[in-house]
Amino acid sequence: MIEELKRGLGHISEGYADIRYEVWRTTSINMINGKIEVASTHVISGGSVRYYHRGAYGFSTFTRLEDIEGAVRSAENLAKLLKPKQEVVLKPQSPVKDIVEPKVSINPNKITFDEKVELVKKYHDLLTGNDKFVAVSVTYGESLLTRYFVNTEGTEIIEERPYCGISGSITGRDGNLLQRAFRSFGDLRGYETVLRREADFEEIKKDVLDLLRADKVEGGVYTVILDPQIAGVFIHEAFGHLSESDLIFRNEKLKEIMTLGKDMGTDLLSVVDDGSLEGERGFIAYDDDGIKSRKNYLIKNGKLVGRLHSRYTSSLMGEEPTGNSRAVNFNYMPIVRMTNTYIENGTETFEGLLEGIQRGLYVLGALGGQTELEMFTFSSAKAYKIENGKIGSPVRDVVLSGNVFETLKNIDAIGSDLQMYGGLGGCGKGAQVPLPVSDGAPHIRIKNVIIGGR
């Protein structure tokens, strides 16, 4: 395959170009209320060509290898038609030749389709058995991406990324009240990830019953403890996207806000994006520019020290590529995206986080949310009152909102129990969704958080 792609590059008359070719093998199984609704396997393949000319990329896709030459010519012609406002010279990169093979405990390809269906049925059965449960769903998802990358500088990369994940959800009803609880697990560690999840699925049942008996939260300003999952979603959605440099250089207000060296919080806080974390869902050995992934500090001891770059944005802004040029698949142009984004560990115990809180909330999981530049709103999956330093009764419909930069400065304690989450689904930006990512954090404590409620 590499030799065929290199022959395609032979049609380039001058300048820089790259070709990305992908083969996707996917499996999906979904069971809803005792019935298999989806049971499918697919193989999809295709590629794309990028040609770079004086600050502009021409982009063209193909599905048949015999069409590479035409795609190359199309990308070159498109690039030369574009008139960018600013000419940018891509920084030269040393060529790379590498083959990256997956490190998995149990290869999902070695498990029969029938065994996967039986696993879904087993977990589905665990979620039934209560007349308050009106909808039960379990979904298994699997994909093996084989990715080939070559460019005119001599880089040749072959990489495999095997994903495997499972999720479960219950919608419960008590009178007119509807509540939903769910869990989702997934990463690149192999079929082992979806096995022995019985206790996790039992927890879904407990969660939805807790939510049905919970009081609606009283609105106000609270000290909150975020669990690792919602803290990870917060740092990804509310801060991570602001670190993507293709957004920064287009937005003058964001440029001013995201000035390197600026104080973002106490010296307790460090935030990282690291695509080199093997096994995590956001792991990539190389990005879609052929740049090796690495650990990138965004905040270090409370100060803004970095941002995420593609090869183009790093050249535009006079910085170094960070390995964050990513596309959902070959049909899309790579843009700047996160990989595995997380808050680093602190030193506090969970009991230490609780200490001194007279009236607060312990907030767990994330149902969803939205951001608008530095403003955010998130809904939690569940929450509990904190009274006199102790976990109390459950509350529901907890919505957190505020300014991300004020909120970061209000983080006054960080736990030592970092956890990463992948799961089914992924990150969205523009028209490109779902992109495989992970996010995470230890437990964190935040003062003066606005909570919507009754």
Read off the pLDDT of residues 129-160 as tens digits, 9 standing for 90 and up: 999 999 999 999 999 999 999 999 999 999 99
Domain boundary among 209, 234, 268: 209
Phi and psi at 206, nearest 5°, equal -65, -40
**Is the per-residue pLDDT at 225 higher than 90?**
yes
CA–CA separation, 424 and 427 (whole Å): 10
CA–CA separation, 206 and 203 (whole Å): 5
Contact 53, 80 (CB under 8 A): yes
Domain boundary among 209, 237, 259: 209
Q: What pLDDT, on the 0 to 100 scale, is given for residue 342? A: 98
Q: Which two tokens stand for residue 386?
A: 């904190």
CA–CA separation, 259 and 232 (whole Å): 23
Q: What pLDDT, on the 0 to 100 scale, is given for residue 87? A: 86
Query: Stretch 268-274: mean pLDDT, rounded?
Result: 98
* pLDDT averaged over every residue in the chain: 95
Q: Among residues of the chain, what percentage have pLDDT more than 90?
A: 91
In the sheet with 295-300, reading across from the earlier edge strand, the strands are: 303-304, 295-300, 271-274, 340-343, 438-441, 419-421
Q: Are residues 99 and 221 in the same domain?
A: no
Q: Among residues of the chain, what percentage have pLDDT more than 70?
A: 100
CA–CA separation, 113 and 144 (whole Å): 15
Query: Stretch 273-291: mean pLDDT, rounded?
Result: 98
Q: Are residues 242 and 384 in the same domain?
A: yes
Q: Are residues 225 and 342 in the same domain?
A: yes
**Is the per-residue pLDDT at 206 higher than 90?**
yes
Q: Are residues 243 and 142 in the same domain?
A: no
CA–CA separation, 396 and 415 (whole Å): 24
Query: Stretch 252-280: mean pLDDT, rounded?
Result: 95
Q: Are residues 412 and 355 in the same domain?
A: yes
Q: Are residues 177 and 230 in the same domain?
A: no
Q: Are residues 271 and 401 in the same domain?
A: yes
Task: State yes or no: cis peptide before 434, omega within 30 of 0.
Answer: yes
Q: Which two tokens stand for residue 440?
A: 């995470």
**Boundaries of domain holding 316:** 216-452
Residue at 217: amino acid letter: V
Q: Are residues 321 and 336 in the same domain?
A: yes
Q: How many CB atoms lie within 10 A of CB 370?
A: 12
Residues paired with residue 213 on neighbouring β-strands, in sequence order: none
CA–CA separation, 446 and 442 (whole Å): 13
Could you tell me how many helices (H) and strands (E) the chain has, helices first? 10, 25
Q: What pLDDT, on the 0 to 100 scale, is given for residue 162? A: 94
Q: Are residues 227 and 205 in the same domain?
A: no
CA 271 to chain centroid: 15
**Is the per-residue pLDDT at 84 higher than 80?**
yes
Alpha helices in 12-148 (DSSP H): 68-81, 113-126
Q: Which two tokens stand for residue 368?
A: 């969803």
CA–CA separation, 162 and 298 (whole Å): 28
Domain boundary among 147, 179, 209: 209
Q: What pLDDT, on the 0 to 100 scale, is given for residue 163? A: 95
CA atoms within 13 A on the CB side of 121: 9
Element (H, E) at 1: none
Q: Are residues 236 and 185 in the same domain?
A: no
CA–CA separation, 149 and 5 (whole Å): 8
Residue at 289: amino acid letter: D
Q: Are residues 165 and 282 in the same domain?
A: no
pLDDT tens, position by position, 341-392? 999 999 999 999 999 999 999 999 998 778 888 999 999 999 999 999 999 9
DSSP labels, 11-52: T--SSEEEEEEEEEEEEEEEEETTEEEEEEEEEEEEEEEEEE
Q: Are residues 158 and 223 in the same domain?
A: no
What single DSSP character describes residue 415? B
Overall domain count for the chain = 2
Q: What pLDDT, on the 0 to 100 scale, is given for residue 454? A: 60
Query: Stretch 218-247: mean pLDDT, rounded?
Result: 96
Residue at 90: amino acid letter: L
Contact 316, 89 (CB under 8 A): no
Q: Can you list the positions of beta strands (E) in 175-211?
A: 177-187
**Is the per-residue pLDDT at 52 higher than 90?**
yes
Residues 6+ positions from 441 with CB-CB distance below 8 Å: 226, 228, 231, 232, 234, 235, 342, 343, 418, 419
CA–CA separation, 318 and 86 (whole Å): 14
- Burial string for 67-94 (b: 16+ CB within 10 Å, else e) reads bbeebbbbbbebbeeeeeeeebebeebe
**Is the per-residue pLDDT at 453 higher than 70?**
no
The two beta strands, 271-274 and 340-343, are antiparallel
Which CATH number is 14's domain given? 3.30.2290.10
Query: Stretch 205-212: mean pLDDT, rounded?
Result: 96
DSSP labels, 297-364: EEEETTEE---B--HHHHHHHT----S-EE-SSTTS--EE--SEEEEPP-SB-HHHHHTT-SEEEEEE
Q: What pLDDT, on the 0 to 100 scale, is given for residue 13? A: 75
Least confident among 53-62, 149-158, 366-375, 396-405: 366-375
* pTM tops 0.85: yes
